[in-house]
Amino acid sequence: MGILAGKQVVLGVSGGIAAYKSLLLVRALEKEGAGVHVIMTEHATNLVSPRLFRELSGNPVSTTMWGDVTNHHVAHIALATLADVFMIAPATANIIGKIASGIADDMLSTTITATTAPVVIAPAMNTNMFCNPVVQRNLQTLRDLGYHVVAPDAGELACGTVGAGRLPDTDVLVFAAEQALAAGLLRGKRVLVTAGGTREAIDPVRYIGNRSSGKMGYAIAREAARQGAQVTLVSGAEALPDPAGVEVVRITSAREMEAAVAARYETTDIVIKAAAVADYRPAEVAAQKIKKEANEEAPTLQLVKNPDILYGLGQKKTHQILVGFAAETENLLENAAKKIAKKNLDMLVANNVAEPDAGFNTDTNRVTFLFRNAEPEELPFLSKDEVAERIIRSVAELAKAR
Ligand code: C5P
């Protein structure tokens, strides 16, 4: 369970066509362990029945200041205070304009005026409305005041036009809520994460690969973004979907990974190399599929060394914080300590991949953190998401000490 577990989300639904998608958002927030309390504008109640929101959220739905549909005492203040995070999805031009100018004339606009919780606004409307300079000015006003504005998706809209204005997918909205709740430990930092294994081609259909799933690196990228960093994920993982709020650069081989990392190194503050990079690649890649019939004897694969990307980064390090991973099957701490010195790292995450519930392709991990100038820290058995949180916390400490 993540940062939303046990939190109360007050979800404002205003009268855009995307209001139906907010039903899915209620479910997704609940899946994360949050309680959801819905406030609908009168317009929204003409599009979706408040009963649906009540059934899905299991809580009363507020639609008016004056009715008796809610069981909250001085309802707008009670809800404003209850909120750990406040979301408006979809947010129409109307509610955006009202908030930006301080109008409080219905339940939603009044409650939002009374809250001190972080607020996420997800605009969704026709492209021309969204691009209207007044709406854009209002959104900028909200951003300047610290509201979290989620960029709408571009695409075909319900009104038939094509352009920006679509409510983003539920996972993007949930992520925005998580980001609003997080402490912002890496705000303003540029973080580069590598994840997954590399594939080294033998011929057009065969390759040398490894068992890395990319789960650890993806969890790190997600957590860094949640904590406010601008994150690029250089990934060799094939099976994982792009995490919300992260730029993903897909690569196949070690040399492609090296090029993708090198191109961004100068402008990066923190590099976390969770990828399982192949140490060797075939010396030659056959142009055509190697045929059984053409080889009486089994062919011999000649290997050459791949660049050690992390080592190279350590040599060129100026202002960057460098974090490496060590997957060992024996003498874990001893080998890890050597690696931190040899590769000029600031931190190393060592895991023993010989254990069944740690390392490759599991959802859990047992790791030890090693630092350049501090004692090793052995972590308990944790989920990879929890390990990612601890890594980012430690990295944020290192960045603070700079
Ligand atoms: O030396 P070893 O391969 O065990 O070091 C592991 C660390 O170095 C990991 O952080 C991995 O991403 C990185 N690495 C690399 N380039 C390689 C091999 C490993 O960047 N060719």
Measured from the Cα of 275, ligand 1's closest atom is: 12
Which pLDDT belongs to residue 9?
98
In this structure, the residue with its CA closest to atom 4 of ligand 1 is 326
In this structure, the residue with its CA closest to atom 19 of ligand 1 is 277
Which pLDDT belongs to residue 65?
84
**Digit-coded pLDDT (tens) for 112-159:** 999 999 999 999 999 999 999 999 999 999 999 999 999 999 988 887
DSSP 358: S
- Determine the distance from the C-alpha atom of residue 130 to the mean position of all C-alpha atoms in its chain, rounded to a whole number: 25
Select from 255, 309, 322 the residue to mutate for testing ligand 1; criterion: most ligand atoms less than 8 Å from CB: 309
State the average pLDDT over residues 161-175. Answer: 94
Are 300 and 368 contacting, i.e. CB atoms less than 8 angstroms apart?
Answer: no
Place of tokens 């059984």: 292
Peptide bond preceding 152: is omega within 30 degrees of 0, i.e. cis? Answer: no
pTM of the model: 0.88
Measured from the Cα of 325, ligand 1's closest atom is: 10
Place of tokens 């979290």: 148
User: For the stretch 209-224, what's the b/e string if a residue is b when 16 or more beta carbons lie within 10 angstroms of its beta carbon?
Assistant: bbebbbbbbbbbbbbb
State the average pLDDT over residues 44-67. Answer: 94
Active-site position among 159, 183, 341, 354: 159
Tell me the percentage of the chain whose pLDDT exceeds 70.
97
Please tell me the distance between residue 50's alpha carbon and the centre of ligand 1 in angstroms. Answer: 54
Q: Is 131 a known active-site residue?
A: no
| Beta carbons within 8 Å of 291's beta carbon, 6+ residues apart | none
pLDDT at 68 over 80: no
Q: Between 299 and 356, where is the model more confident?
A: 299
Question: Residue 380 class from Cβ within 10 Å (0-12 exposed, 13-18 middle, 19+ buried)?
Answer: exposed
Which pLDDT belongs to residue 29?
98
Give the residue from 22, 18, 48 showing the smallest Cα distance to 158: 18
Q: Confirm or reject: Cβ of 242 under 6 Å from ligand 1.
A: no
Which pLDDT belongs to residue 332?
84
| Beta carbons within 8 Å of 231's beta carbon, 6+ residues apart | 190, 191, 192, 193, 221, 224, 225, 245, 246, 247
Confidence band of 73 (pLDDT split at 50, 70, 90): low
pLDDT at 72 over 70: no
Please tell me the distance between residue 242's alpha carbon and the centre of ligand 1 in angstroms. Answer: 23
Give the residue from 157, 164, 219, 225 showing the smallest Cα distance to 190: 225
**Digit-coded pLDDT (tens) for 342-395:** 999 999 999 877 777 666 667 888 899 999 988 999 999 899 999 999 999 999
Please tell me the distance between residue 368's alpha carbon and the centre of ligand 1 in angstroms. Answer: 17
